[in-house]
Amino acid sequence: MDLIAILSGFGIGAIVGMTGVGGGSLMTPLLLSVFKLNPAVAIGTDLWFACITKTAGSASHHLSGHVEWRITALLLAGSIPASLATVALMHYTGITKGWASALTFSLGIALLLTAVTVAYKQVWHAVGLRLERWLPENRKAPLTVLCGLILGVLVSLSSIGAGAIGATLIMLMYPRLPSHRIVGTDIAHAVPLTLVAGIGHATLGHVDWVLLGSLLIGSIPGIWIGAQLTRKMPEKVVRTLLCVALVTAGIKVIN
């Protein structure tokens, strides 16, 4: 299974390198279907995978000046308390069948939401420009915190949302930001959020550390090769394949 894990990590890494999204969205369904982890362990393992793989990306974007730290701080002001509260509730109530069903359902919904955000990326930008007319600057800060709160709950329950969904929310709130700053800010926010949620799941025993190590071994070269391939493959083709995979996985998980 180690070889399968390394190859799986490589495949997910390649998709992330080609599209910028899809790591968490595809890793958790893979952990459920191929490695037969229970939903809670799959989510906890994926949170650590996301945190570790995105740390290098966050540092790179910071050094390039691509991170809007004020927006990152506002998102974290909502997401970190929300994540802590969600994990605390899981600690308090214990992992029952009800929680397992909630985790699985939230995972399926998050996958379908991610598919929509990936498929209609340009549409969300246009929507954000229209919202600007009714969204004065003094309201953006509290709404950004609210977006962070939603992401904190979603990521803690499903391990999904800090990538494509987070970037879409930033785009809706700040449509004038260049795309590289949206991506950089989104990744910078994702690292501490997935770390906090990952630590919470680890305290519940929801991480398969051996499997995580094998996945990371494969993902590092996979991301680099995917980044090279993105220049040769049409973006529409890659995004279409990713959306089909997300929708299929989402429907399968919910059912």
For the residues 83-103, what does the mean pLDDT come to?
78
Question: How much is the pTM?
Answer: 0.83
Q: What pLDDT, on a 0 to 100 scale, did the predictor assign at position 221?
A: 85
Domain chopping of the chain, boundaries: 2-254
pLDDT of residue 233: 64
Q: What is the pLDDT of residues 200-250, one digit of tens each?
A: 999 989 999 999 999 999 988 887 777 666 556 666 676 676 677 667 766
- pLDDT at position 130 is 82
Q: Residue 105 pLDDT more than 60?
A: yes
pLDDT single digits (tens) 164-192? 788 888 888 888 888 778 878 888 898 99
**Predicted confidence band at 255 (pLDDT cuts at 50, 70, 90)?**
low
Higher pLDDT, 177 or 108: 177
Neighbours of 96 (CB within 10 A): 10
What average pLDDT score do residues 32-60 get? Answer: 86
Is the confidence at residue 58, as pLDDT, over 90?
A: no
d(CA 111, CA 92): 27
Amino acid at 83: S
